[in-house]
Each structure stands twice: as C-alpha cells, then as structure tokens.
Amino acid sequence: DTGVSQNPRHKITKRGQNVTFRCDPISEHNRLYWYRQTLGQGPEFLTYFQNEAQLEKSRLLSDRFSAERPKGSFSTLEIQRTEQGDSAMYLCASSFEWGDRVWIRGVNEAFFGQGTRLTVV
C-alpha cells in the first residue's frame, strides 16, 4: 500500500497523559499536513511541513502540541498533558508542491491517511 499511513488507528488515554501519533506520507511527497476533525465538522488545519521544515502552525496548535518531521520523511504529532477537549480524529495528509511558494500555479491535491482516533477519558 503506497498511500498515507497513520499509527495507531485508535488511542484511548487518561487525561494528563502524553500521546504521540505517527504519519508516513506518500514517499515522493514533500509536503505533510496535520489536521484535526471533530464530529460533524470538516478537518481543521493544525500545521504543515515542507520537507523537514515546519512552515506554519495554526492557532489551534497550543503549546501542548508539538510536531516533528525529521529528515523530511515520517512525522510525529505529540500532545502533552492531554485534555478531554483533545478528543478528535487526527488526520495526516501529504502532497507534492513545487517549492515553498505556489502562487504561480494551483495547489496540488492532498491525500489523507485513515486518521488516528484519540479518546481522552
């Protein structure tokens, strides 16, 4: 399977614990995104990487959240001191873009993984 892979698929944790999710993008893609989706809502942008550089963070990404993409391959999203409000589906997506700025052309489609469902009890 050459699609975007996310692990684990499901995670149940107690409030206050730390959790880490992993995303393996499509191999030739240089851009990787993290989104969060709650019930009845569309995905909301959290952060993205161009290769190994984290180029933007949403205001939704509080200090308890951190994301890394070492060597521009897989990425991890860590949530520290989880709260019940963190319960959601965490989605990873990847795409290929020509360089850091894409104003000249359209944005290429992003392909999503199956997500990690986090439940904080």
Partner 1 sequence: EDQVTQSPEALRLQEGESSSLNCSYTVSGLRGLFWYRQDPGKGPEFLFTLYSAGEEKEKERLKATLTKKESFLHITAPKPEDSATYLCAVPTGDGGSQGNLIFGKGTKLSVKP
The distance from CA 112 to its chain's CA centroid, rounded to whole angstroms, is: 10
Reading the block at residue 27, the tokens are 């191999």
Residues 61-80 that bind partner 1 (CB under 8 A): none
β-pair partners for 48:
33, 56
Nearest residue (CB) to partner 1, 11 versus 31? 31
Q: Answer yes or no: are the C-beta atoms of 82 and 19 closer than 8 Å.
A: yes
Which letter does DSSP use for residue 69 in this model?
A: -
* 48 counts as binding partner 1 under rule CB under 8 A: yes
| Strand 10-13 relative to strand 116-120, pairing | parallel
**Rg of the chain's alpha carbons, rounded to an integer?**
14
Nearer to partner 1, 18 or 100 (CB): 100
From candidates 7, 22, 44, 66, binder to partner 1 by CB under 8 A: 44
Q: Which of residues 3-42 bind partner 1 (CB under 8 A)?
A: 4, 6, 31, 33, 35, 40-42
Give residues in contact with partner 1 (CB under 8 A): 4, 6, 31, 33, 35, 40-45, 48, 50, 55-56, 58, 91, 93, 95, 97, 100-103, 105-115, 117
